Chains A and B, each alone.
Chain A
Amino acid sequence: MYYKNNKLILPESINELHQTVLENPNSIFFAGGTYIMKNRKMFLDSSDVKIISLEKIKELFDVTRNIKHVEVGAMVTTNKLLEIGNLAFNDLLLSTLSNTATHIVRNQITIGGALATSNIRFSLPGTLSCMGASIELLDFSKNKMTTKLVPVEKMYKNGLILLEKGNLIKKIKIPLDTFDFERFYCIGNPVKEPESTVIFAFRSDINQTLINNIKLSVTFPKAGIFTSSIVSSELDGAEIPIIPKSAISISNKFISEIDKNIEGVTPLQKERAKRILQTILYQITPSKKYIEKNY
């Protein structure tokens, strides 16, 4: 069923949505709407733009689970995900979700929306890419609708999302792995201070006194998400605790890697990223007890 007006369309199923997109190529998807409403002038000012609201499509609200994964529909809100994942998800994801905005705003932020913002990155994509999550994409651009599964870390480049016109995030597949050492840091506010905020997700396993299976991702809201290969390779198999000299050397290499691979990172963000990495490295100990740290 459609609203009887020029601008807003509310399809009730995926097929209807497909049809709507084909008929209205110049349209934007409206999920929770927090980002679009905050930037109304940028998105809604033109009278040509059609708005397709996803809130009546039931398939996008489904949550299914098996031993290894949870599949979450794109329209599931962050609060809902936090509630259902309280006993299932690892601390890294739970920290990320609970640090996203506040309870009041989380009622409106959808997982799909948080991943698909056009020109700014928030905390969820970085953590999901660190955990090895993947996205099920629907391609509506052609007459026949197609589906593909894309790892989250492949979805972003240079701060922009590689989501083509007519593509929709349907589900997010989140692995239920837990790791021996997990850390999430968010310094600053990505909405209010995007040019000084740094979001860091780190996870690794500890095998007696050696560290392995390392993955980290750092998010700079305007500049993009960065996953470091140098840190992973330098730390893989390293003995813990890590001495200050090594920590400083690794963090300096990390910053050089950022300089080479990503543009638009401010000096303050680089300094904060360096310091966060050092702090994390000093915290890695043979003890597997998780120490809560909220910034």
Chain B
Amino acid sequence: MRNKNFSLNNKAALHGLLVKAKEGVGKNPQFKLPKIPNDCIIIFPKDIIGSNRVEISKKTIPLLASSSISYIDQPLFGIFAPSLDRVEKLIKKIKISYIEKEESDKKKSEDISIDFNKGNYDEELKTILDINSQIAKDLQKSESPKKASEKKEILYNSLKSKLKFDRIKSNTNQTTKVIAELVDDNLNIYSPTQWPAFIVNSVSTVCGFNKKKIIVHREKTFTKKDEMLIQPAILASIAALAAIKTNKIVYIHDNISSIRPEVNIERETWYSIANKKTLIEKINVTIEQGASQIFYDEMSKQYIAGLIPLYDLKAIKINFIFIKSPLEPAHFYGGLGYVNAIASTQIHTTKLGKIFNLSPYFWISKSLFESTIHKTIFEMDSIQDQKEILQDLVERSFFNRKYAAYKVNSALDKTLSTFTPYARGIGLAIAPSISGFSSSHEAYATPKINLTLNFDGKAELNTSFFNKSKGSEIWKKIISKELDVKVDDIEFSKDGPDLIDSGPSVLSSNSGIMAVQVKLACDKINEKRFIERLPISVTVGGVKKNNKTNLFSSNSWIALIIEASVNPLTLEAVVYKVWANCSIGTLVDEIVYKSNLKQVIVNCLNEIGAITAKGNAFNIDIKINQKYAEISDSITSGLKGVVTAAFNTALEMALNIECMSLPTSSENILSLIGDDL
């Protein structure tokens, strides 16, 4: 909620904008300034009291570009005046030039490489290649055709697939306003944010201000793509500097964006032709993160969780390269890559089934959960449940019949003709869903919260996660149920230095994981209730050494089928039907949950370049199976992954061409089909 006490006509206020580099990557920016009026101020890197860098996830990122510009749109300086009109007029008068740096000054690119191995891939590959070459030699010598054909049967072959996810920039289009005000000794920051503690730390580092005197007042925000994770802290730091120097209320305005990095996933799976068994797999992942490779370690864990397939393998080798490049930093984008990884795995799985001449359903249900490697990464539940869910989904959607029909049709010539348009396909995918950080991330794997039951029967929940969201309504319901407290008697702790840092509100941590934490806190209070005197206060979560060998655990699974076609007139990919079966824990409100799932599906389809059929032609059919007693984990990441995979598979079937890049578009489809008519 915007603070109504702050008026933009307040003459004691300053309004500011960040001036960003439009060119000159790798060069040294120089500024020619006009005469700056006394009531205006410019914040350059040299004006920073503390450090010009903020630390995040073991990496530091610069606040303002100083001696070298790392990427286009990097902030150069902040400029403040009594009104935005004056700021814009001043900006027009400032001349910026870019001076070439000497060779020795230029830093070389620092790519980061991470490897993940299970089993001995190199040895297994050597064995396979040796056997293959031996068989090839025998075939050359062999005189009997029967023997030759028998030998051919036990050959090993490999399937390669590639998938590219384009770099996407998502603009909120909304001007974000961050306000800084010095009141007595306290520095008040009003800002939307997914991580208030990061703002406190950044402002303290940049301004040299005592952390306990920095109060972050959280404003309401709706972030689809984690736009409010890092940028508000940068804005707040610069506004805070201006507020400290001028002793005025400072507003800083910016259009914040979020970027998904470009990702290339290449997979090669060796398999035995005779017994249709997968043997070993190698996956190369290159992620172009731009000028700062932050969160790369957690990103690799999220990718690993999604890349490891459900079919069995003797060995797997995954290599990540996080490329540093002169582009705007790309990291969180509604997730950290699990969705892309699941999409790649499921698309590859379907292709393997095709090689083995099995329909996706038979191949997936045959190979499901056979992976021993997957079990080391994921703590999972009963196989039988997921197989039943898959079977029910396939029967409900008549998948097998449609798959057979579309398969025959896609082999025909000119399916995209305007005269006989019939480019249709159907895709199936299944995956578990994860939320939150991996167990290896000690700080944020379990958000820290504090719950207090007061003597007047009221409860107070202390967490830095935003408390005016749909998720917070669910926490209240859980507390109300577990502690027998009225919903209206449950309060959230106010903003201030005593607010507990629950970590960044990303990766759907504020839904399933927070609900689990709240329930845990309630259980602990109930253990002490009627034994200890009120108030009873418990703290759960936070940094702890994790002895878990599994990176993730999940009680949410989703299986999904998409039926799609290509419009022969517009060359757009159109989705007609979506069927989904979810296997989850307990829910608070099933109807609202289904409605949210539909929104996620529609949004995801739009992101990957699909459009939904108009009117009654489009339908989403969701069946929810509340299988587990514990609270359900978030299903968003798994759902997006299977939507992406199923859509891509359906599109490939409709076009009868491999589609290796997402999101798709009419231009992409045109380049794939060439001159069809």
A–B contact, 8 Å CB criterion (strictly below): yes
The interface of chain A, by Cβ under 8 A from chain B, is 185, 187-188, 196, 244, 247-248, 251, 267-268, 271-272, 274-276, 278-279, 282, 295
A160 CB, min distance to chain B CBs, angstroms:
25
Q: Are B571 and A272 in contact (CB under 8 A)?
A: yes
Compute how far the CA of A41 lies from the CA of B83 in the bound complex, rounded to whole angstroms.
19
The answer to whether B418 and A268 have CB atoms under 8 Å apart is no
Contact A279 B666 (CB under 8 A): no
Which residues of chain B come closer than 8 Å to A272, judged between CB atoms? 569-571, 666
Contact present for B419 and A274 (CB under 8 Å)? no
Describe A's contact surface by its main secondary structure. helix
Chain A minimum-CB-distance residue to B666: A268
Cα distance, A95 to B666, chains bound together (Å): 24
B interface residues, tally (CB under 8 Å) = 11
Would you call A282 and B419 a contact (CB within 8 A)? Answer: yes
Tell me the nearest residue of chain A to B676, going by C-beta.
A271
Decide yes or no whether B39 CB sits under 8 A from chain A: no
Complex alpha-carbon distance, A41 and B548, angstroms? 57
Q: Top 8 nearest A-B pairs by Cβ distance?
A: A278-B418, A244-B419, A187-B570, A279-B418, A275-B418, A275-B569, A268-B667, A268-B670
Given A187-B570, A268-B666; 5 other pairs, CB 8 A cutoff: A244-B419, A272-B569, A272-B570, A272-B571, A272-B666
**Residue in B419, B569, B667 whose CB lies within 8 Å of A187:** B569
- Return the contact of B666 from the options A196, A251, A295 (Cβ within 8 A): A196
A–B complex contacts, Cβ < 8 Å, 7 sampled: A185-B569, A187-B570, A188-B570, A251-B677, A268-B571, A275-B571, A276-B569
Q: Does B24 contact A (CB under 8 A)?
A: no
Contacts of A185 in B (CB 8 A): 569
Residues of A within 8 A of B677 (CB): 248, 251, 274-275, 278
Residues in A with CB closer than 8 Å to B568 are 275
| Residue from A187, A188, A271 with most neighbouring chain B CB atoms (10 Å) | A271
Nearest chain A CB to B475 CB, angstrom units: 39
Give per-residue flags for B105-128: 1 if the beta carbon is below 8 A from chain A beta carbons, else 0: 000000000000000000000000
> How many Å lie between the Cα of A267 and that of B419 in the bound state?
21
Contacts of A247 in B (CB 8 A): 419
Cross-interface CB contact of A267 among B417, B418, B570, B670, cutoff 8 Å: B670
A contact residues around B570 at 8 Å (CB): 187-188, 272, 295
Contact B666 A282 (CB under 8 A): no
**In the complex, chain A residues whose CB is within 8 Å of the CB of B569:** 185, 187, 272, 275-276, 279, 295
B418's nearest neighbour on chain A, judged by CB, is A278
Q: Which of B419, B571, B670 contacts A278 (CB under 8 A)?
A: B419
Chain B contacts of A276 at CB under 8 A? 569
Nearest CB of A to B416, in Å? 9
In B564-580, the 8 Å CB interface with A consists of: 568-571
Interchain CA distance A187-B670 in the complex, whole Å: 15
Residues of B within 8 A of A251 (CB): 677
A7 to B569: give the CA distance in the assembly, Å.
Answer: 47
- Docked Cα-Cα span, A272 to B417, in Å, equals 12
B419 touches A271 (CB 8 A): no
> Once the chains bind, are A282 and B418 in contact (CB under 8 Å)?
yes
Most buried by A among B570, B666, B670: B570
CA distance A271 to B670 in the complex (A): 8
For B667, give the chain A residue with the smallest CB separation: A268
List B contacts of A271 (CB < 8 A): 571, 670
A247 to chain B: closest residue by CB:
B419
Which B residues from 416 to 444 make CB contacts under 8 A with A? 417-419
Q: How far is the CB of A273 from chain B (nearest CB, A)?
A: 10
| B569: nearest chain-A partner, CB-CB | A275
Chain A residues in 8 Å Cβ range of B417: 244
How far does the alpha carbon of A185 sit from the alpha carbon of B570 in the complex, in Å? 11
Instruction: Tell me the complex Cα distance, A282–B417, Å.
Output: 12
Encode B262-274 as 1/0 by CB contact (under 8 A) with A: 0000000000000
The interface bits of chain B over 439-453 (1 if a CB of A lies within 8 angstroms of the residue's CB, else 0) are: 000000000000000
Contacting residues of chain B (445-502) with chain A, CB-CB under 8 angstroms: none
Q: How far is the CB of A238 from chain B (nearest CB, A)?
A: 17
Nearest-CB residue, chain A, relative to B416: A275
Looking at A244, A268, A272, A282, which has the most chain B CB atoms within 10 Å of its CB? A268
Contacts of B666 in A (CB 8 A): 196, 268, 272
The residue of chain A having its C-beta at the shortest distance from the C-beta of B668 within the complex is: A268
Query: Which residues of B are found within 8 Å of A278, using beta-carbon distances?
Result: 418-419, 677
Closest to A277 in B: B418
Q: Which residues of B have CB within 8 Å of A279?
A: 418, 569
Chain B positions 366-419 with a Cβ under 8 Å from a chain A Cβ: 417-419
Chain B residue nearest to A270 (CB atoms) is B670
Give Cα A248 to B418, complex, Å.
Answer: 10
Question: With A and B bound together, what is the CA distance between A185 and B569 in angstroms?
Answer: 10
- With the chains together, A247 CA to B571 CA distance in Å? 19
CB distance from B88 to the nearest CB of A (A): 11
Q: What per-residue 1/0 map shows which CB atoms of B310-342 lie under 8 Å from chain A?
A: 000000000000000000000000000000000
In the assembled complex, the Cα of A274 lies from the Cα of B673 at a distance in Å of 15
Distance of B667 from chain A, by nearest CB (Å): 5
B612: min CB distance to chain A, Å: 15
Whose C-beta in chain B lies nearest to the C-beta of A196?
Answer: B666
CB distance from B646 to the nearest CB of A (A): 26
A187 and B571 alpha carbons, distance in the complex (Å): 10
Bound-state Cα–Cα, A244 to B666, Å: 24
Q: Chain B CB within 10 Å — which of A272, A275, A276 has the most?
A: A275
Cα(A164)–Cα(B590), bound, Å: 64
Nearest to A193 among chain B residues (CB) is: B666
CA distance A187 to B568 in the complex (A): 12
Min C-beta distance of A265 to chain B, whole Å = 13
CA distance A131 to B568 in the complex (A): 28
Which residues in B have their C-beta under 8 angstroms from that of A196? 666-667
Q: For A282, list chain B residues within 8 Å (CB).
A: 418-419
Q: Complex Cα distance A172/B570, Å?
A: 32
Would you list which residues of chain B between 622 and 677 have a CB under 8 Å from chain A? 666-667, 670, 677
**Bound complex: CA A275 to CA B569 (Å):** 6
Nearest-neighbour CB distance to chain A for B338, whole angstroms, equals 31
Of B418, B571, B667, chain A has the most CB atoms within 10 Å of the CB of B418
Q: How far is the CA of A204 from the CA of B667 in the complex (A)?
A: 31
Within the complex, what minimum Cβ distance (angstroms) separates B36 from chain A? 22
Q: How far is the CB of A236 from chain B (nearest CB, A)?
A: 22
User: Chain A residues with Cβ under 8 A from B670's Cβ?
Assistant: 267-268, 271
What are the residues of chain B within 8 A of A267 when measuring CB–CB? 667, 670
Task: Give A18 to B570 CA distance when docked, in angstroms.
Answer: 46
Q: How far is the CA of A268 from the CA of B668 in the complex (A)?
A: 10
Distance in angstroms between the alpha carbons of A275 and B570 in the assembled complex = 8
Tell me the minimal C-beta distance from B508 to chain A in angstroms: 31
Smallest Cβ-Cβ distance to B572: which chain A residue: A187
Chain A residues whose CB sits within 8 angstroms of the CB of B667 once the complex forms: 196, 267-268
Residues of chain B in range 537-587 having any CB-CB distance to chain A below 8 Å: 568-571
A282 to B419, CA, bound (A): 7
Min C-beta distance of A231 to chain B, whole Å? 16
Nearest B residue to A248 via CB reads B677
Give the chain B neighbours of A268 by CB distance below 8 A: 571, 666-667, 670
The distance in angstroms between the C-alpha atoms of A295 and B570, with both chains bound, is 9
The closest CB in chain B to the CB of A244 belongs to B419
A286 to B417, CA, bound (A): 23
Which of A274, A276, A278 counts the most chain B CB atoms within 10 A?
A278
Q: CA separation between A204 and B670, bound complex, in Å?
A: 30
Report the minimal beta-carbon distance from B610 to chain A, rounded to whole angstroms: 16
Closest residue on chain B to residue A45 by CB atoms: B92
Q: Give the distance in Å from the alpha carbon of A84 to the alpha carbon of B1 in the complex.
A: 45
Which B residues lie within 8 Å of A274 (CB)? 677
Output the least CB separation between B631 and chain A (Å).
42
Q: Which partner residue on chain A sits nearest B420 by CB separation? A: A244
A72–B417 Cα distance when bound, in Å, is: 41
Residue of B nearest to A282 (CB): B419
Q: Which residues of B are found within 8 Å of A248, using beta-carbon distances? A: 677
Compute how far the CA of A185 lies from the CA of B567 in the bound complex, rounded to whole angstroms. 14
Tell me the complex Cα distance, A279–B421, Å: 11
Which residue of the partner chain B has the closest CB to A243? B419
How close is B330's CB to chain A, nearest CB, in angstroms? 24
